[in-house]
Structure 1
Amino acid sequence: MIAKIGKGSNMYGAILYNQQKVEAENGAVLLLNKIPDTLDGRYSVAYFNKCFEPYLSANIKTEKTVRHISLNPDPADKVSDEQFTEMACEYMERMGYGNQPYIVFKHTDIDRTHIHIVSTCVGIDGKKIPDDYDHPRSMAICRDLEIKYNLNKATEQEQKQDNKIFKPVDYQSGDIKSQIASVVRYLPKYYSFSTMGSYNALLSLFNITAEEVKGERNGQTVNGLVYVALDENGNKVSNPFKASLFGKDAGVAQLQKHFEQSKEKMKTNPARAVLKNTVELAMHTTNSEVEFKKQLAEQGINTVVRRNDSGRVYGITFIDHQSRSVWNGSALDRNLSANLFNEWWSNGNKPELKIQDRPVSKTNTQDDVPTKDLFEFIPQEHSQSSDLGLFSLLPDALGVDYEEEQFAKKMKKKKKGRRL
């Protein structure tokens, strides 16, 4: 079993993320700790958020007061709701959060059923609960829970996945070609993006841009692609590298196939509705571009804004690391076009949106159609630029994919073993 500990400042967003899983019948509320029950067993984000307010307001010095934790067993493990509840209680008690208010949500939208725990690190007395050495303590607890509940043990390689992340290109450190290769060879395997523009938006997080090159060879038109490294300001700082240097997945032909496959996949991706609601909530609860981007970043979403020479916003792209999908604003929803954000950030005309606070049922739900495209991202310490602009990066979001890859590989090996 693998645990992910997310630390942030947006309690409402953390609760909303889990509520939307329940509303989509891809989750359930398993346990409320130190949170009053209701007569009808139904709750809302506003209700949950209000229960945490006395704790959050007791300490105004601590910036990252929210703890958003996920416990992820192996896909082969069959864990009952009762066992998930017991594991959550033991984990929180041993991590020092046993007397804190927390909510345990079960997620069933991917093959690997798992739980999320939303809590706070601030006690009712206003003191911050020490979180030194959280990671090693969490790993030790997971190993004990594996033994106690007869779960498949996470391999040493899986335990080290958090340290395996795609890194942005640093042109000053040299060997730019290898740095670019470590990114472009693998991004199409993990992310859905349907246009060259959305691909470049994703690449921009890694200080890379891709440019199409057209020419003729033997009287026939030839399309190619080159990759160039960028500095922190988006300026080109390297010679162009041909896509052929990085394998077929980085070339035009394969990318075109990827665009088409992504279009079909994204049509039915349930993450679209969740992302749309999350973006609209950020618009409703923030007052500037910087605040807007920061709030989304805390939920694993990068915002890439494109402006022309006069400063007008002509494009906006949302990179959702939770669902590994890249959406242009207008493709996500026609009401989220670049013009709307330009009116807000350039002209001060903030759009008025009505955010509905729908109730959450505590009733457990069945995993009807697991969505393999979704994976779980719990943001930890983000690496953000000072203006939270084009090159803001959430490295942990990318590292999670290795964990998913290891699970998949292990399952494939088991299937091959059965055939022998």
Structure 2
Amino acid sequence: MVVRISTGKSIQGVLRYNESKRNQSVAQLIGSQGFAKGVENLTVNQLAKRFEMLTSLNSRTKTNAVHISLNFAPGEKLPEEKLNAISKSYLDKIGFGDQPYLVYQHQDAGHPHLHLVTVNINREGKRIETHNMGRNQSEVARKEIEFEFGLVPAEKQQRIGPSLQELGRVVYGRETSKSSINTVLNHVWANYVFTSLGEYNGILSGFGITAYQGEKDSQRYQRGGLVYHVLDDKGRMKGVPIKACSFYLKPTLKNLERKFLMDQGKKEQLLERVKAKVSGILSMSNSLDQFSQNLKKNGVHLKLNHTQEGKIFGATYVDHVHRIGIKGSDLGKEFGAHGLAERFGLISAGAKGPKKLPIGKEMETDGLSIRGNPTQEVGVIPDLPLQFSDSPYKGYPPGKRKKKRKKNDKPSES
């Protein structure tokens, strides 16, 4: 059994994700604790109120939503009764046995798995510690449950966790756009680091979505508005744009800018790790296509932006292992659009600006061809083994955390 744990600030977002899967008939609510009979007929708001009764007791803890997936080996056919027993045993062992919770069984992947939804505030208003829970309580619980219920150990499974492919790309015309976009936004905000709109869109493009400000002379752009579009397989925006403020997460430009600042410390910690990986791959690549393919094999998606005339003007690296989007030039000049174009002969050394790709010439980027008048390149999310705490980020770097000033302390005069 493989366990993946994530925490967030929106219990509504977690519930909407699982309920949207129910609405698509790819998930069932098979168990609960702390809810009256008929829980399967409650709306998302009604379900959320039960959890908010607890979170309202501790207003200082903002990150209070807990979302856990229990993943079983392909071929393990477990009855509902056993799945509920496993869920109950697991939550008991990690200290959440007295919490209200919901158990969803999903059928949208190649292996059986459950999603457990709860909060980390107990009935006394105290916070249940989740720091390092994946490596400590959860690991012990997992091994005990594997032995108790005769499950395939995580170490013997071909993969050590659910892949990003299981979340999948949003496909225009195949599903309800808003609920699908909402699912992706919740996942990206909870699990990825990004400090600019370009980095954010680099990550979103892998899921078939983009955030769009509008043209610079449009009212939307001038007023700081933002909408979300589904992308087709050529990276073109399709369908009706959906305003950022209409999602429960409220992923508006204003809120994005707050997240950019919050993620800056995380980015500083991860930057050198990603740079070392990308630099090693670049040194072994003889063409832009080979570089992109080699990156993909190592869990990194290279997103290239093009003008309508076909010129490369931006490069973003999305590392799905460390879960971060980084602007190419932040890694170094040689990793930016101009540096890549110069290295691989798309422009002559010392030339200003990248070379326009000849019409009809095919440029292979991450397995997709762009001919003639390319738009944004859209990559495929790599099928990677992911698990809890696979990112080395553990909080603000030493000395970077802001110290809170006591109420009676007066700021010193300089």
| TM-score scaled by length of structure 2 | 0.50
Instruction: Give the number of the structure with larger relative contact order, counting CA–CA contacts within 8 Å between residues 6 or more apart.
Output: 1
Q: Which has the higher helix share?
A: 1
